[in-house]
Structure 1
Amino acid sequence: MDNDLFPLLQLCDSNFPSGAFSHSFGLETYIQEQIIVDKESFKTALSVFVDKQLVFSDGLACRLSYEVLESGRGMDELLEIDRLLFVSTLAKETREGNRRIEERMAKLCMDLYAIPALGEYLYFIKNKQGFGHSALVFAFVAHHLQIDKEKILSAYLFASVSSLTQNAVRGVPLGQTDGQRLLVEIQVKINEAKNTIMKLTKDDLGAVSPGLEIAQMRHERLPVRLFMS
């Protein structure tokens, strides 16, 4: 068995206390508007989220960050990716959600692995020279543990999809079985997304869907909410 399998399983575990269970990243807006009403309508929305948000924002940032660490080019480029992620995220709740998830994940990963570069990243965030995003944390952990770039990218995409699916089980609501069926069906989409990300450049970072951004911005005005974003 690969030695890097266990850290990947731990990072992708729904019990990993990152706080992602508190966020829908705009999908709750579609639930309340009854655009998402069942497994198939959620699968459609989730596929768009993967193709846009995860490919052109979070996933691409994870890959770019890993490559910066791999090349040893330094913290300045990582902070630039961090900044681009922040300024290209228009919805305040989504920016704050990403920051909170990063904060929890980074502190826990520091306790688990004591990664010097991650500690430096947290120092810059604490001193208001960075913003924070889980995509970079995944890259720090993967590079430190010498996990293959494509493996960690697939793991990051799956962890994001799995978290949103579990939230949909509560929010739509979906049955647990439908949630697990969806995670099987979406694996092809995740692999396609990973392959697309591997072909993109830094210039593509932030090219997300306007419809999704509007849903994320409208979420903060919903009269009743299960999720923070």
Structure 2
Amino acid sequence: MSYQLALQQLTDSALPTGAFAHSLGFETYVDGGVVADEASFGAWLSAFIGQQLTYSDGLAVRFFYEGVDVLELDGLLSASLLPRQVREASVKMGLRLLDIGAEVFPSPQLDLYRGLVARGVACGHQPLAFAVVARSLGVPLQEALAAYLFATVMSLTQNAVRAIPLGQNAGQRLLRQAADDVAAAVERIPHLTPDDFGAVSPGLEISQMRHERQRARMFMS
């Protein structure tokens, strides 16, 4: 299919969106000694996939595919991502993805979203930037969801390999385990409702908020 190679490029860990600089909260657990090895990071990653990636990012991708206005979804993401660093991370990586997309995967839909961001009426969140590019490439919804979620998992796992630290083989075992959680999330997302949007564990959000005041850290979020 014509979109498959483009999708591989879009989800490659080498895509320069800045994902290597974000832990999205797991560094707080590392600092507290809660995440310290392969098993404990795997538990955190499973919870993150089942919560934030499912009820925030993944659901935003699905709603965009179903025709919900991108400006409305952008506002919902800004409102639901309560931790400031995570909200800013979503925008920073999203803006980079919009710029990259404009150069290598241009489309009228992408120009529309970039225009809203340029006028200051939208922020440019990462899941929406991905969804705009993926849908314009003709990527089916389920494949887009799986690709986006697993690309995020790969970035986080690579960051954990450096930060905890973990061995490279441990990282590969974690990715294999996380693939099952991603598959379950892809199956769950189509059955969620608008009322489910942003339904994330308070514990996860609190840890992400605490990261901002952490004494020392490797990551921006």
The TM-score normalised by the length of structure 2 is: 0.97
Q: Does 1:157 align with 2:156?
A: no
Structure 1 segments (4+ residues) deviating >6 Å: none
2:129 & 2:65 partners in 1: Cα distance?
10
The alignment partner of 2:213 has SS state of: coil
Partner of 2:138: 146
Q: Give the deviation of 1:3 after TM superposition.
A: 2.6
* Worse-superposed segment, 11-20 or 48-57: 11-20
1:89 & 1:143 partners in 2: Cα distance?
23
Partner of 1:169: 161
The alignment partner of 2:160 has SS state of: helix
Q: Give the deviation of 1:134 after TM superposition.
A: 1.2
Partner of 2:198: 206
The alignment partner of 2:216 has SS state of: coil
Partner of 1:105: 97
2:105 & 2:181 partners in 1: Cα distance?
31
Partner of 1:87: 79
1:80 & 1:203 partners in 2: Cα distance?
15
Matches within 5 A, 1:183-202: 183-202=175-194
- Matched to 1:14, the amino acid is S
Partner of 2:50: 51
Which residue of 178, 187, 211 maps to 1:219? 211
Partner of 1:35: 34
Partner of 1:65: 64
Gapped runs of 5+ residues in structure 2? none
Q: Give the deviation of 1:204 after TM superposition.
A: 1.1
Tell me how many residue pairs correspond in the alignment: 221
Partner of 2:14: 15
Gapped runs of 5+ residues in structure 1? none
Deviation string 1:180-215 (CA, Å, 9 cap, x unpaired) is: 111111111110001000111222111011001001
Q: Give the deviation of 1:41 after TM superposition.
A: 0.2
1:7 & 1:63 partners in 2: Cα distance?
20
- Matched to 1:60, the amino acid is L
Q: Give the deviation of 1:78 after TM superposition.
A: 1.2
2:118 & 2:205 partners in 1: Cα distance?
27
* Worse-superposed segment, 183-192 or 113-122: 113-122
Q: Give the deviation of 1:12 after TM superposition.
A: 1.6
Partner of 2:117: 125
Q: Give the deviation of 1:161 after TM superposition.
A: 0.5
- Aligned-residue sequence identity (percent) comes to 46
Q: Give the deviation of 1:128 after TM superposition.
A: 1.6
Q: Give the deviation of 1:90 after TM superposition.
A: 1.0
Q: Give the deviation of 1:43 after TM superposition.
A: 0.4
The TM-score normalised by the length of structure 1 is: 0.94
- Matched to 1:219, the amino acid is H
1:101 & 1:199 partners in 2: Cα distance?
27
The alignment partner of 2:199 has SS state of: coil
- Matched to 1:21, the amino acid is F
- Matched to 1:147, the amino acid is V
Alignment root-mean-square deviation, CA: 1.0
